[in-house]
Amino acid sequence: MNIKKIFVVGDKFSEFTNGKNVLTISQLELLTQIPAKIIDTEHEIIVGQGVRDDFARKVIKNQKRNEIHDNKLNIISLEKLTEAKKNCHAHKKIKHNVLIGGAEKVADNDNLYTLPLMIDERCELMADHQTGQHIQGMLLVEACRQTFIAVTEEFFFNGESNRYYVINGMAINFSNFLFPLPAVVHYEILEQDINDRRARFKAQIRVTQHQTSCATMDVSFTVYPSEVISSKESELAIAATHNAFSAAQHIPREAVYA
């Protein structure tokens, strides 16, 4: 049987759908609302980026309600999306701000992990606007940041979240556009130095799409118990405020309102 594959993406990636076998999730929802057999050949839906899980549930509900018409849509991937768990170690309180799925250790390599990229178009970095057909670079920066936190917390500190992550250095290189299609994040630990007081890591994070490298981040960071950093942060905050007040006393009043 010849099955036609169709990608579905978030509505904000509507420009990407032009001239391709790609639908937005709202377009797919409209198709499944129509109570008639309008799709008579097998189609398999593949979930890309940006799809909201609440919209996916609407499609599933419509398809079940109209299953008597036997529209030949395989929407198993949408059902899996609604069941999939975002990474719970990414230090985000709002689910749709999490950009990565669960991490898996690569077999026979304790330093290498993979995670699916899972962008919801409601996330904080897409709240303003979407430019062009590709995924904006800052989304990949944030996905990489969430990745090193999530992997470290889950695999080195047993999921404990009472730790503070200090970024010592972060450099990212973009080599190809990443489009709103399935993508994978690869996390590799290059160096680690762990003791009772702190843990230091150097790592490389790569984002690939269909074996094409799209972005590479080199990062170094240190992890401290929260109480250690909280105390130091309070000292620095007091000193910064004192310096700001001292500087303000020497600023001419008219300059403040210029």
Work out the average pLDDT over 17-45: 88
Q: What is the reported pLDDT for 205?
A: 98
Q: Is the pLDDT of residue 80 over 90?
A: yes
Tokens coding 172: 């990212």
CB 103 within 8 A of CB 151: yes
The arithmetic mean of pLDDT across residues 8-27, rounded, is 96
CA atoms of 229 and 225, how far apart (whole Å): 7
Residue spans of alpha helices (H) in the chain: 25-33, 53-65, 76-83, 137-156, 226-248, 253-256
**Model pLDDT, residue 69:** 72
Please report, rounded to a whole number, the percentage of residues in the chain having pLDDT higher than 70. 97
Over residues 175-228, the pLDDT tens digits come to 999 999 999 999 999 999 999 889 999 999 999 999 999 999 999 999 998 877
| 96-117 pLDDT per residue, tens | 999 999 999 998 888 999 999 9
Summary mean pLDDT of the chain: 91
What per-residue confidence (pLDDT) applies to 256?
A: 55
Residue intervals in the chain for CATH 3.10.129.10 = 93-232
User: Could you tell me the CATH superfamily of domain 93-232?
Assistant: Hotdog Thioesterase (3.10.129.10)
CA of residue 176 relative to chain centroid, distance: 18
Global pTM? 0.89
In one letter, which amino acid is 134? H
Task: Find the mean pLDDT for residues 34-42.
Answer: 75
